Amino acid sequence: MTIKNRWRRRDVLRLGGIAGLAGVAASTGLTSFNRAARAATAPIPVNIVNTASNSTMALQELIKQQGYFEEFGLAATTLNVADGSKLMGALFSGSSDICILSGFSQVFPAVEKGGKLKIIAGAGLLLQDAIYSAKPDIHHVKDLEGRTVGSGSPGALLHQFTVALLRKKGVDVSKVKFVNVGSSASVFNAVVAGTVDAGPSLIDVYPEQKKYGVHSLEDGDLWKELPEYTYQGSYAADRAITEKRDALVRVLAVYGKLYRFLSSPNSHDAFMRARAAVLKKSDAAEGEFEWQFAQKYKAYATDLTLSEDRIDYMQKLNVEFGIQKKVLPFNEVADMSLAKDAVKLLG
């Protein structure tokens, strides 16, 4: 009897305390109570698929070190894959719930062919690539006529934005020989070796051009020359959006918090630690340049949403490349309501 009464009093005190906290939270509009409540419940499992680029690995490590998944009540598992087909396959099979940091031009033709998925948020807004060459007579994009250019497969991210830049600069693309080298890292190695005359690669090597014996083209900085091209987005299958909406919203909130932190001057030391932890052979100067880039150009979607103009631009490129037949209505290919709900969690 005494034991029962003691548990009752304890329960009353506990419930009373929770009610009091809830009252305070309601009256002040604070989100900290909601986060504390989420943390007190069992974490929600969620499976994420991402690319395997150096920048993605560094950002994932930064999330881990900052404890963002735990803060938003998630037990997250992240799979990193090498190409877009594997990203799409993971989502369609249901083995992964959401892709966060990826080019998304392949989403539109998939939807056109009946695929049930949507773009649900923005990620990296600006391209983080430049066109490099080791040839002393190549300094401008126009100089690439009659040359070999390393890229990915036709229509893939590297190939698509390179052709978009060449066309914008008035280059006759039919006079350029494209070589499918593979990833941006492979393209850079081919440029250094001289097996191609030029090619796009990531900005992490930008401060080390003299070290590798290459130079970036004077009008080949893609974040400046092609700002309308959206580098990365987040997308998910319709089934996951319907059945796991709460988990997806929380994942977007995690990355939204990451983008905001990365855009602030307070993130420098944490970013450098995270990058060094996963890219042990990388030069610190490369990480410094990446961090400065995020600071200067505000390259990430801190509000998580993508505009119709950005979505339409990417679709029009696909139509020009023959990747899809027509521009699809925004609501057929995108659902920004999850991103808006995630921003509300950020307060």
Tokens of 100: 């966060």
Tell me if 161 sits within 8 A of 103, measured CB to CB.
no
| pLDDT value for 33 | 44
CATH of 41-126+230-346, one of 3.30.2130.10, 1.10.15.40, 3.40.190.10, 3.40.50.620: 3.40.190.10
Tokens of 93: 């099979």
pTM of the entire predicted model = 0.84
Q: Is 5 exposed, middle or buried (0-12, 13-18, 19+ CB in 10 A)?
A: exposed
Q: How many CB atoms lie within 10 A of CB 332?
A: 11
Alpha helices in 155-213 (DSSP H): 157-168, 184-193, 209-212
Q: What is the mean pLDDT of residues 2-21?
A: 38
pLDDT (tens digit per residue) in 237-289: 999 999 999 999 999 999 999 999 999 999 999 999 999 999 998 888 889 99
Amino acid at 104: F
Fold assignment, 129-225:
D-Maltodextrin-Binding Protein; domain 2 (3.40.190)
Q: Return residue ranges of the chain for CATH 3.40.190.10.
A: 41-126+230-346, 129-225
